[in-house]
Structure 1
């Protein structure tokens, strides 16, 4: 799963999916303290409160159009866009893998190939009898 999370090295997200991390994280910290301050400031500029909901930002601020291990290097620097990204580096159970993948692109590539191959073997749900097929990825039906 850690290797598969690197799919966030390409693509974009609507501002509303992460604004809580840069404006309303907690009562004492409006910005998630695990987030790089300069990166948070950049996101606050790109996605101010009340921004048009169609506005998007790249999930990988370094190499947004390249599938590579920069995603893991970004996590080491506090530049994970989503909490689910950043926790991979802040959680001791996954931190070593993040560090390995950040420093060794070949290890990342091999882990990703293995993981995506296993994922492809799970099959595609084609009927609600086989489980929940979401109409919207971020919400249960």
Structure 2
């Protein structure tokens, strides 16, 4: 075991300076010292007005970084010649882009052509977690905004129906490990899902089971009532956690109890590679907070764009 540990440490030592050269927690200290406070105030005001904002911004950051890296490509609007990421099927339900637009407008007024849209999303994701009772971390900054956004590429986002092997492989492609997968899945402590993302678990599940057998029976019954067979309510669904506006470790306790809303959530408890991490986070909220913060920093380093631009408006390239 010892040689493996040594190897991992060496890899980490090699990898860290490469990202440090690009990103820096103090990147805007001289050019726009008020950047983080402007973003925070914008997020706080928006969240007071709409309680769904925190979950939506956190999801936006994840969906941005998983396609082309953290380059704000999710913010670009479609054009007559190109359907952009935000109009890809998994992103149709991503909302609250106006919050990022609002922060960008204020930043352009305070320090023009300085703060990238990609950095705004990264800082905003940290702020909504902290405002919801979760951990705070220093966001590394200095990302540039990408110029390409393609709807078809969103098929590479992990699906709510993914099994653990698919999830592990998807994260590995972005340089993220098994612990990152389990920690970042804990972001589901904030949020809500529409029926379409989980109702395949409730009926005609397989040739052997009508309902997904990994679902707690009472919980499955409850979900079926919320999502009846031929429902027409497009807003029907289920909160992903019993304390959906508070960032805590309740998500993991629910997964252990068979109450993970997505098949991908429940899969984490059915695989020996991830089960022990789920159990450790369910036992120890401080450990989860620490690992989540570290994983968010690593996620923020995925595919950092050095050769992009600082968009003046987040919805269009300069």
Q: Which one has a bigger Cα radius of gyration?
A: 2
Take 1:124 and 1:45, find their aligned partners in 2: how far apart are those partners?
44
Aligned-pair RMSD on alpha carbons?
1.3
TM-score (norm 1): 0.83
Take 2:237 and 2:304, find their aligned partners in 1: how far apart are those partners?
29
Aligned to 2:252, which of 47, 65, 72? 72
| Aligned pairs for 1:6-85 within 5 A | 6-52=186-232, 53-60=234-241, 62-85=242-265
Aligned to 2:284, which of 104, 107, 111? 104
**How many pairs are equivalent?**
124
Deviations 1:63-96 (A, max 9, x none): 1111110000001000011111001001111000
Structure 2: runs of 5 or more not aligned: 1-180, 306-318
Structure 1: runs of 5 or more not aligned: 126-141
TM-score (norm 2): 0.38
Partner SS state of residue 79, structure 1: coil
Take 1:15 and 1:71, find their aligned partners in 2: how far apart are those partners?
18
Take 2:236 and 2:289, find their aligned partners in 1: how far apart are those partners?
31
Deviations 1:26-76 (A, max 9, x none): 12211111110010000000111111233222111x211111100000010
2:168 is matched with which residue? Answer: none
| Aligned pairs for 1:122-137 within 5 A | 122-123=302-303
Runs ≥4 in structure 1, deviation > 4 angstroms? none
Q: Does 1:90 align with 2:270?
A: yes
1:3 is matched with which residue? Answer: 183
